[in-house]
Structure 1
């Protein structure tokens, strides 16, 4: 891989208004931080394309910029356009690349060019007294639009519910963008469904525009009827030595059809997720703080069926084997009372 350096701009390249994700590497040359002035100087920060196959952030940015035209933005706007090399091929990341949403400051991964680029982004935004941070993502399964936060403070929840009433609180994995910015300002990750799904870019653009128009965050707590709050209790992975299938093909773990239809559904104990081939004692990997496997805290294999042992709600269940291998199968969540 060639050296990766941060490109910084103070104006919008004309071609960016309409560029497709696959054209960005030629247009920008690499990861790029764009600073635009506005009437309020403390900038809104937006990151997009941390994963090269998640295009909604780019389309939303283009809509926002086109809507303001030559008018002055209500607030300064800084935009980080991330993994343009992977975007060229429509991939989450290229083989040999780190995950751009696992190497922000606070990550155990250090020493690579990409981590240095992201540390520089954080330093620049801290020096500019960043107002709020939005990280725009897509996912590969069937999920509603929802927001994620790393802190349960009132400004974070107000920003999150400006996007959706469904909010997920999480503290793992380490090295994500929203956690790196949480010590600087209210920060959220927004999940906008599948790339190019109807309404995803419009919803994200409306959210970015609404955040640009915010003068300050309300101080009153969020009303209970305005928020469905969950917290992540487990990240579910597939061991490298375990084969998997989603279409009935023989494999060590054969997941049920329409697995991703289970996302954001309350699943009772006993719900079957897969059939497991005889002899596989650890079909899943749910890491604990010490690197061990705690999959039996949540599941069991009974008569060849991989079943939940407790009531849970999954999110981001995916049938994309490449994404599952590069990231995870899903997250397990439980409802969380308002703080």
Structure 2
């Protein structure tokens, strides 16, 4: 089904159209917005989506800065600014999705239900029309932490795209209805997680990566054969039960089902040995957590264990996407984990 007028369009916008700041520009946007910029080689197009989550602004900041500077890209550029509605709700850039809405980055698959489904379907139609040679989806991590890329395909083209931003690549077979699954249309597609939403280095990385993405004649082959990428394969997704409670504290108060230290984000991408405590579990035990692999099997005993009320890794693991935002910890996931080697946990 078609959804007329779901998106607004800007072609080769002048600085006057954009406002002086990203906030001013967002204020002017009435709907999710498509920005098209003509390139030196009009026979090719590269696409970039951003603000799929309304609380992840680095990609929008980068795009605003890049557009103000009036670059002429190497090829035509198609930008999709998605989460305009949640981003605009005060305080600006504080909501991942509308209070009654769905996570837009779970809506890129049929059925395209509701407002988010209509936006996702319209964005996919734009990509289909533009037939880009590649797609980037630029996000912020839900906590502070180093940048990384996520892909469902680990080949040279996907590694090359990731290398525009980072040397850490997560490869997953899990399918959630994310835009990154556009890779299945034979178009190299990579999610870029730039770092924390409030981190200046994340905004800078988003901008520097966009400059590289738009200005290089070729972004699908690695510039140097020795790009030293850490590939983490098929991470397990550790989720909280919907009725479970979580708090962040230096010691448990006894009120929550799980307690994590306030600096738990520092564990992102580090190796945690089986002797290092991660936090505390309440009376309900590990039953409040699930550890779902890409093959949909439950593997908690391979990931975590409990000793005297404290949570430890069941083996040396590498974790990422740990957040200290309790809303995201509950609605999305607590963290992802692989073996210390980067291999999947089976």
- TM above 0.5, one fold? yes
TM bin (shorter chain): 0.7 to 0.9
Q: Does 1:319 align with 2:324?
A: yes
The aligned residue for residue 84 of structure 2 is 84
Give the match's secondary structure for 1:73: coil
Q: Does 1:265 align with 2:270?
A: yes
Report the aligned-residue RMSD.
2.6
Match of residue 311, structure 2, among 297, 306, 309:
306
Give the match's secondary structure for 2:105: coil
Contact 2:236 2:294 survives alignment (8 Å): no
Deviation, 1:45, is 0.8
Provide closer, same or farther for how the CA distance between residues 22 and 278 of structure 1 changes in structure 2, counting only shifts above 3 A.
Answer: farther
Contact 1:154 1:222 survives alignment (8 Å): no
Contact 2:237 2:292 survives alignment (8 Å): yes
**TM-score if structure 2 supplies the norm length?**
0.86
Q: Does 1:297 align with 2:302?
A: yes
Contact 1:130 1:184 survives alignment (8 Å): no
Match of residue 202, structure 1, among 201, 204, 213:
204
Give the match's secondary structure for 1:142: coil
Give the match's secondary structure for 1:96: coil
Deviation, 1:321, is 0.5
Provide closer, same or farther for how the CA distance between residues 294 and 228 of structure 1 changes in structure 2, counting only shifts above 3 A.
Answer: closer
Q: Identify the range of structure 1 (270-279 vs 96-105) with the bigger mean alpha-carbon deviation.
A: 270-279
The aligned residue for residue 49 of structure 1 is 51
Distance in 1 between residues matched to 2:295 and 2:138, nearest whole Å:
31
What do residues 293-317 of structure 1 show as CA deviations (whole Å, max 9, x unaligned)? 4322311222211221111111011
The aligned residue for residue 116 of structure 1 is 118
Deviation, 1:225, is 5.2
Give the match's secondary structure for 2:200: coil
Provide closer, same or farther for how the CA distance between residues 297 and 118 of structure 1 changes in structure 2, counting only shifts above 3 A.
Answer: same
**TM-score if structure 1 supplies the norm length?**
0.88
Give the match's secondary structure for 1:275: strand
Contact 1:21 1:84 survives alignment (8 Å): no
For structure 2, the residue ranges without an aligned partner over 5 or more in a row are none
Aligned pairs (5 A) from 1:205-244: 205-217=207-219, 223=225, 226-244=228-246
The aligned residue for residue 37 of structure 1 is 38
For structure 1, the residue ranges without an aligned partner over 5 or more in a row are none
Distance in 1 between residues matched to 2:96 and 2:52, nearest whole Å:
8
The number of aligned residues is: 330
Contact 1:18 1:62 survives alignment (8 Å): no
Structure 1 runs (4+) greater than 4 angstroms displaced? 217-222, 288-293
Give the match's secondary structure for 1:38: coil
Distance in 1 between residues matched to 2:201 and 2:125, nearest whole Å:
34
Give the match's secondary structure for 1:203: helix
